[in-house]
Structure 1
Amino acid sequence: MVEVHGHQWPPAEDLIAQGFAYLVPGADAASATTDPVEPPAIVTFETFALDYLERLVKPNPETKRKYLERLRVHVFPVLGERPIAEITRREMRLWQEGLVAKKLAAKTIQNIRGETVSPIFEAACLPGEDDEPPLRTYNPLKGLALPQRIRPPREIVEDQREARLVIEAAYEIDPNAADLMLTLLATGMRWGETAGLPVQAVNVERGTVSIMQVLRREHFQWKVIPQPKTKDGYREIPVPAQVMKVIAARCGSRDRDAFVFTAPMGGHWLHDNFYDDRWKKIRTLAEANGLRKRRTMYGLRHSLLTWLASEGVDLTTLRTIAGHKRVSTTFDIYVHSTRRHHPKVKQAISDLMGLEAGPFTSQPHAAEDHRPGR
């Protein structure tokens, strides 16, 4: 009661109502027997979380559905019936260790924590809508280390020879699918941005494509969403002349809202179908022709961004082409170490040491006599 009243002594009537009349000087016997007010109902984590999700405004319905699914599968079975005010850091550590024991990926645990659970605890630390006291004074996830995340190296197409092997294999397997794969490699667009690219987004004169819509999976179905992943997703990407000819030929006289790249049945490509029926065959043929290692389709995006970085493209341009909010995201995740910079490094070292001035001659050194007394 003292905390509720801002760390001040509670009013006499509240003390009497709660059965503490003996603490009020001069209170008569009648007031001392006043029935206490019913204590507030205990708020469980599940009750508070469902109310919190109901009041969320910003996320779209699919995002809210994803949050709810995570809670029901990974959180409510362990914490749902616990009073949200009593959950401790130890409980949260044990809960997280349980997710690790279930073999959930570190990235998945990070998403469950950061996007779904932590905001609920943060909301519980705020006063209620009618200025009710906060249910918590701290977020029990703060200070709890995330599981170590080990990113497997993304295999990229490193040089012109490897790019040629992939492109030639694609056109041998399916020229229609090869046009889409060529665009993925030449623009660095995400799958949903490329598969959902409309004719009206292509500007042949400027040699660019604009990201105006994306294909996104919702309720296990791919749907056209009239907005990129983030506001930074709205961007214009330069396209090489040879690739623009391929794209322009596909546009032809199609309607402005039509897809540039279409599957055999006429609709947009489904990621799973393209990957299983086209990409795996392309990769197998390229490997048979000499391509090293196993490339992933998303590695094509990594490949382009790595090439541009190694060629000295400025950071702002690189971030814009990638559609990222921060340059650090582009460099930390998408730019990889390659051998493309080796010639430049060798030349820079030669210039620094004056190695081009002429050959060095090795002078023989007299052997030192390390015998005692010498």
Structure 2
Amino acid sequence: MATIEKRTTKDGKNTRWRVKWRDGGRRDGDWDGETFDYQADAKRFKALVDANGNHRPSPEQLVEHGFGHLAPAPPAAPVDDPTAMTFRQYALTWLDTLTKPSAETKRKYLERLEKHVFPTLGDVPIASITRRMMREWQTQMMVSGLSRKTIANIRGESLFPIFRAACLPGEDEEPPLRTYNPLEGLALPDGPRFERDILETPEQASILLTAAYEVDPEAADLLLTKLAGGLRWGEVAALPPEAVRKHLGTIEIRQVLRKVEGRWTVQPKPKTKNGYRQVPLHPLVMHVVNQRVEKAGKFLFWAPRGNHWRYEDFYDWRWVKIRHLAESRGLRGHMTMHGLRHSLLTLLATEGLDLPGLKGVAGHAQVSTTMDVYVHHTTAHHEPVRRIVGGFLEAGIQAGEQQRAAGVMRAAEIRGRIHRSSKETAARYADKTRPGR
């Protein structure tokens, strides 16, 4: 069985985690191992090694479980046969040539390719990929549970530009590897389009927050602040104590938590210039925040290890438990943490907050982003609609009811006449056909 060793760098500032095992679990087996920056990744990798009989996971297993960067690089395509270059080889070369995207953007592209594309198309020569193969890949992704939006993102940000580049001559005027882009004109697969689930009523908010405080009060404080302020994950997770303005009843967004090259780091720059903002909090929420300021360290909300929360850790160790408990008590749908931000902005829009104020709370550059993406249809308008329509149609409905009642009476009278006439006709017929007449 593999083991995990905790290691600290010589300067004592960083901790790393080493997964060690003997090949095959034998005493005479060769030692093998991998080192990770985070304990959660080390635990996932250890479980994979144990399940694989104490052997190093295969490249396919590494890619499937998010460890594609540990998989050995595929052999290079023969120089004398450029058409034999696989999709994986060409995609990796294409990524290296990109200059405009940041390192984090490149990492996201590679992560998506390793997880969703390389297992199916990675070893296929890029020149041999057909439109039918791409259509089947899309269907496979839909069946696996990906949404149409996720498939569209993979297509538009990674696959389409890769195939487009393969249709162009090389940097040294090498002939193009393809004559057409197999995604050109290929429609996305049909599938259900789900509206993001949000909290629409005080009862739903109560169910979620009650479940959160039962699971972990520390995590619940974070979710309460996130919901009450409509904050992004990177904003609430990076809040320092000095961001709290007690005399104003607000929190100030001046820094964010972002994932850069696989590590969550704090950066003093929100997503947009409008991200620098003061977010008002309700006095009850402000009281919770003020209590945390008195015992806070570097961050207002901290993980068990004393540092800021990593999204993956909070999601796996806290959010999943909270959501399952809330769903068992009647919370509908499949709530996400980002859905809390949508919930707050939808509530403010429904209650009539002016558009500049709504944009300010959201931290968006354009109010159209807030209205088009974050404000959802709710059932709050159902009763007003019923009341308005009832007032408009009440007189007509009452008149119609009277006419309907009169019509029912007339219909009953007509049916009675027909019934009596039928009985009389039957009696006359029976009298005529009686024997002896």
| TM-score calculated relative to the size of structure 1 | 0.67
Q: Alpha carbons of 1:287 and 1:251: their partners in 2 closer, same or farther (altered >3 Å)?
A: same
Q: Deviations over 1:277-297 (max 9, x none)?
A: 544565566567x65436635
1:296 pairs with 2:349: no
Report the Cα distance in structure 2 between the residues aligned to 1:94 and 1:169, rounded to whole angstroms.
42
**Mapped partners of 1:172, 1:100: distance in 2:** 36
Q: Give the equivalent residue in structure 2 for 1:307.
A: 347
Sort the Cα spacing of 1:145 and 1:273 in 2 relative to 1 into closer, same or farther, 3 A: same
Alignment check: 8 A CA contact 1:125 1:137 kept: yes
Gaps of 5+ in 1: 1-39
Pick from 59, 81, 94 the counterpart of residue 101 of structure 2.
59
Please, which moves more after superposition, 180-189 or 154-163?
Answer: 154-163
With over 3 angstroms needed to count, the CA separation of the structure-2 counterparts of 1:72 and 1:191, relative to structure 1, is closer
1:120/1:345 CA distance change after superposition, 3 Å: same
Q: Is the 8 A contact 1:157 1:300 kept in 2?
A: yes
Output the CA distance in 1 between the equivalents of 2:109 and 2:325.
Answer: 41
Determine which structure has the larger helix proportion and give its number. 2
Residue 188 of structure 1: how far off its partner (Å): 1.8
Provide Cα deviations, 1:145-165, integer angstroms capped at 9, x if missing partner.
112343445443322233334
CA shift in 2, pair 1:297/1:47, >3 Å? closer
**Displacement, 1:260?**
1.3
Q: Which residues of 2 match residues 203-218 of structure 1 at below 5 A?
A: 203-217=245-259
User: Going by fraction, where is strand more abundant, 1 or 2?
Assistant: 2
Q: Counterparts in 2 of 1:233-244, with a 5 A limit? A: 233-244=275-286
Distance 1:118 1:232, change over 3 A: farther
Aligned to 2:380: 340
Q: CA shift at 1:65, angstroms?
A: 2.9
Whose RCO is larger (CA < 8 A, sep 6+)? Answer: 1
2:204 matched to which residue of 1?
162
Once residues 142 and 99 of structure 2 are traced to their aligned partners in structure 1, the CA distance between those partners, rounded to angstroms, is 31
2:307 matches 1:267: yes
Amino acid at match of 1:293: R
Partner of 2:229: 187
Q: Which moved more, 1:138-147 or 1:65-74?
A: 65-74
Is the 2:126–2:177 Cα contact (8 Å) retained in structure 1?
A: no
**CA positional deviation for 1:352:** 4.6
Do the aligned partners of residues 303 and 105 (structure 1) sit closer, same or farther apart at CA in structure 2, a change above 3 Å counting? closer
Change (3 A) 1:150 1:230: farther
Instruction: List aligned pairs for 1:96-175, cutoff 5 A.
Output: 96-97=138-139, 99-100=141-142, 105-125=147-167, 138-152=180-194, 154-171=196-213, 173-175=215-217
In the TM superposition, what whole-angstrom CA distance separates every residue of 1:47-106 from its partner, at most 9, and x where no partner exists? 54333211212323233233234445624863656354x754344334444545666554
Partner in structure 2 of residue 78 of structure 1: 121
1:157/1:295 contact within 8 Å kept: no
> Structure 1's 175 and 56: CA in aligned 2 closer, same or farther, altered over 3 A?
same
Determine if contact 2:82/2:177 at 8 Å carries over to the other structure. no
1:288-316, Cα deviation, whole Å (9 max, x unpaired) = 7x654366352322321221232133455
Greater shift, 51-60 or 224-233, is seen at 224-233
- Give, in angstroms, the shift of residue 339 of structure 1: 3.0
Q: Which runs of 5+ in 2 are unaligned?
A: 1-79, 416-437
Partners of 1:42 and 1:83 within 8 A in 2: no
Which letter does structure 2 place at the counterpart of 1:78?
A: L
What is the rounded CA distance, in whole Å, between the counterparts of 1:165 and 1:228 in structure 2?
31
Equivalent position of 1:18 in the other structure: none
Do the aligned partners of residues 212 and 120 (structure 1) sit closer, same or farther apart at CA in structure 2, a change above 3 Å counting? farther
User: Which structure 2 residues correspond to residues 82-93 of structure 1 after superposition, within 5 A?
Assistant: 82=125, 84=127, 88-93=130-135
1: CA distance, partners of 2:394 / 2:291: 52
8 A Cα contact 1:185 1:301, kept in partner: yes
Matches of 1:173 and 1:88, distance apart in 2: 50
Residue-by-residue CA offset, 1:314-360 (whole Å, 9 max, x unaligned): 455445544556666655654444332234334433555588xxx98
CA distance in 2, matches of 1:217, 1:69: 13
